[in-house]
Amino acid sequence: MFSSIANPRQAAAQLMNFGLILSTAFMMWKGLSIITDSPSPIVVVLSGSMEPAFQRGDLLLLWNRNIQAETSVGEVVVYNVKDKDIPIVHRIVRKFGTGPNAKLLTKGDNNLSDDTELYAKGQDFLVRKDIIGSVVGFIPYVGYITIMLSEHPWLKTVMLGIMGLMVVLQRE
Catalytic residues: 49, 90, 115
In the three-class reduction of DSSP (H, G, I as helix; E, B as strand; rest coil), residue 120 is classed as coil
> Where are the strands (E) in the chain, listed by range?
42-44, 59-63, 76-79, 88-96, 103-107, 131-139
- Say if CB 113 and CB 49 are below 8 A apart: no
Strand partners of residue 103: 96
List, as one string, the DSSP characters of 132-154. EEEEEEEETTTTHHHHHHHH-TH
- Say if CB 91 and CB 107 are below 8 A apart: yes
Taking the chain, what is the end-to-end CA distance rounded to the nearest angstrom? 13
Selection from 155, 140, 90, 161 nearest residue 119 by Cα: 90
